[in-house]
């Protein structure tokens, strides 16, 4: 299912392949979800994060050398979100360094060790 509101598209992925394909094909992503953010980083897709209910997003952004998540109660929320979104739309969204991306992929392979 795909719905559109202005230039934003929402996908309900039916499989892992659909999920990864939707992220890989996106110009950018906005999320407060840990695995979505890691997938975007690994796929080289610029992303904006919001805090989650655990410190994982904060730690991930620190590990990747990215700005902290944009807090919902930040007085500059609208300005920060607008600036980050404009950067993505204009092709200047921040992605992680290639060496960091390769390291993330190496670490993620450990999840499948022994299968």
CB atoms within 10 A of CB 59: 11
Whether the full predicted model's pTM is greater than 0.85, yes or no, is no
pLDDT in tens, the chain (115 residues): 444 445 677 778 899 899 999 999 999 999 999 999 999 999 999 999 999 888 999 998 998 888 899 999 999 999 999 999 999 999 998 888 899 888 888 888 888 777 7
């Amino acid at each position: 299912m795909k719905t559109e509101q202005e230039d934003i598209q929402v996908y309900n992925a039916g499989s892992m392949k659909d999920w990864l394909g939707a992220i890989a094909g996106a110009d950018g992503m906005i999320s407060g979800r840990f695995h979505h953010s890691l997938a975007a980083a690994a796929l080289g897709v610029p992303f904006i994060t919001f805090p989650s209910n655990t410190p994982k997003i904060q730690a991930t952004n620190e590990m990747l050398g990215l700005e902290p998540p944009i807090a919902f109660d930040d007085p500059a929320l609208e300005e920060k979100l607008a600036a980050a979104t404009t950067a993505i739309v204009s092709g200047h969204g921040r992605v992680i360094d290639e060496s960091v991306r390769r390291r993330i992929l190496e670490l993620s392979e450990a999840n499948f060790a022994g299968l």
